[in-house]
Amino acid sequence: MCCDGGRSRKKADDLDTLKKQTVKALLESIPLTMFYIIRSGQNVYSINDVIGSHIYPSVTGDNEGILSEVISKNPHSVELLTRRIGLVTNSIQKSMRESVSKTIDSLSVSSEIQRAIPAHLLDNMINDCQDMSSTYMFGDPSGSHSARLLEHGIDPSSLTVWESCDSHRNRVGYIDKQINVVAAHPNMKFTAILANPPYQDPTKKARNNKLWTKIVEQHLEMLAPGGDMCEVTPASVLGSTGKGKKFMKLFSTIYNLKLIDYTADDYFTEGVDICRWHLVNEPYQGKTTVITHDGTFTWDLRDGLPVFGDAALKHSILDKIANSNHPRIPLKIGQEIANKDYVPDGKYEVFKTGNKVARTNVIPTTGDVLKFIVPFSSTYKKRFVSNGFVGMLNVWCPVATEEEGSRLSAIFDNPIIRFFVENYKRTSGFTPAIKNAEVPDITNYENLHEQFGFTAEELNYLERSNVI
């Protein structure tokens, strides 16, 4: 019996908490509601003018008169709210004369799920679009996006706005009744698509809640040939794994990613890095404008992810070493022998990886000359000199003496060269710098930094990274 009573009390407490949260949200929506009432030509002098307006329930979703019930029980709150409303009314009327959209932004309280796009970012997105004769705005929780589009001269009859929430759709409708407001993705093509999709689906577990990636995919299908698509999403829209890898490929082949702006993150506090990007439904042109806090540059996505900050310094250092005028150690691939050809009783001994010996009946082609041998796997530190046969996962070059082999081996011990080997185009446990014979043959270690043309910034990075 006591347990049932405990459950009942908990249920009552939960309902009380929910009601308090609802009332708080409704109170926060009062200024925005006032805007729509004032814009309709009605006067607002008191809280009762707000609650009594037919606009109030449609904008707030308070169809049950929850707020009216609460404040009727507290006359003192009526006085406080009415006093506040007088001040807000004057502010709204003054602000509306300057910009309707900015007025809405200043009065809005975004939900945890869906956030409005700041006016400055939305202006950039609109300006990126060449043809807005058929525009799709995904998400407009307060109506500010629609208002901003109309301020830019967009024909309201050419604008389709998607919103999932009844009250949000009503707000857009009050901006202009010619706007086509929908609750489902329309089956048509648009010349311009703008969006800040909700990043997570709160109804799903953390690992399956990336709602924005599905929405981006839907929008790509809805984009007309030559059309512009401008979105605000997590910066992982470009990545090396998962959906980021997929979008990376799409945006650098059949779609033309013209711009990605990582500074858009300054406008959000989502716990993940945010970016703004713009693509055109046309084949990739190889010139993506990348905006960062360190500056703006052009990048070809076919060369991989854009790099900036410390990553850019690292990229530049590696590139300078790879493209220096130094001759390269003439390493060449050891004989490619299939794993099935390695047999315990094979006639020939070969170095399979490092100095690890395996046997095979395949006739070795590397000869019995003295060689400098180095693995191109993660075991590259196991360098040695031998006249033995070379199998797979090793590269080699002939040397006249063991001393010459030791000289070549010493190059790999230089901190800068070691940094190059371990980082240049590195994938998994393999070292392309070794495999592709891109390791500089250094004979003079004096002023090596100058030989590679490192800048002061790059040297500072190497020092901070404990390379030098």
Strands in 34-189 per DSSP E: 135-138, 159-162, 180-182
Residue 207 above 60 pLDDT?
A: no
Contact by Cβ (8 Å): 269, 220: no
Residue 287 above 80 pLDDT?
A: yes
Q: Span 98-111, mean pLDDT?
A: 85
Residue 205 above 70 pLDDT?
A: no
pLDDT at site 1 = 41
Q: How confident is the model at residue 336 (pLDDT cuts 50, 70, 90)?
A: confident
Report CA dihedral (227, 229, 230, 235) to the nearest 10 degrees. Answer: -140
Rounded to the nearest integer, the mean pLDDT of the chain is 90
Q: How confident is the model at residue 340 (pLDDT cuts 50, 70, 90)?
A: very high
Contact partners, residue 269, CB within 8 Å, separation at least 6: none
**DSSP assignment of 8-48, as one string?**
HHHHHHHHHHHHHHHHHHHHHTHHHHHHHHHHTT----SHH
What is residue 154's three-state secondary structure? Answer: coil
Residue 392 above 90 pLDDT?
A: no
pLDDT at site 363 = 93
| Residue ranges in 211-309 assigned as alpha helix (H) | 211-222, 242-251
Residue 353 above 90 pLDDT?
A: no
What is residue 323's three-state secondary structure? Answer: coil
Contact by Cβ (8 Å): 194, 231: yes
Q: What percent of the chain has a predicted confidence (pLDDT) above 70?
A: 93
Closest CA to 175 of 141, 139, 150, 157: 150
pLDDT at site 345 = 94
Closest CA to 329 of 391, 379, 367, 374: 374
Contact by Cβ (8 Å): 259, 288: yes
Residue 427 above 90 pLDDT?
A: no
pLDDT at site 417 = 96
181-185 contacts: CB < 8 A, separation 24 or more?
Answer: 185/218, 185/222
pLDDT at site 78 = 85
What secondary structure letter does DSSP report for 152? T
pLDDT at site 283 = 98
> What is the tens place of the pLDDT at every residue in 129-138?
999 999 999 9
Residue 455 above 80 pLDDT?
A: yes
pLDDT at site 16 = 66
As given in the structure block, the two tokens for residue 361 are: 């009946």
Residue 231 above 90 pLDDT?
A: yes
| 101-115, 287-301, 445-459: the lowest-pLDDT one | 101-115
pLDDT at site 87 = 86
Residue scoring higher pLDDT (268 or 359): 359
**Max Cα distance, the chain (Å):** 101
Tell me how far apart the alpha carbons of residues 22 and 16 are, in angstroms, rounded to a whole number: 10
| 159-163, 167-171, 223-227, 352-356: the lowest-pLDDT one | 352-356
Q: How confident is the model at residue 233 (pLDDT cuts 50, 70, 90)?
A: very high
Q: How confident is the model at residue 113 (pLDDT cuts 50, 70, 90)?
A: low
Radius of gyration of the chain (CA): 32
Q: Span 31-45, mean pLDDT?
A: 93
pLDDT at site 2 = 45
Closest CA to 133 of 144, 115, 149, 113: 149
Q: How confident is the model at residue 405 (pLDDT cuts 50, 70, 90)?
A: very high
Residue 58 above 60 pLDDT?
A: yes
Q: Is 304 left (phi over 0), alpha (psi -120 to 50) or beta?
A: left
Q: Span 21-48, mean pLDDT?
A: 91
> What is the tens place of the pLDDT at every residue in 67-97?
998 888 887 888 888 888 988 999 999 999 9
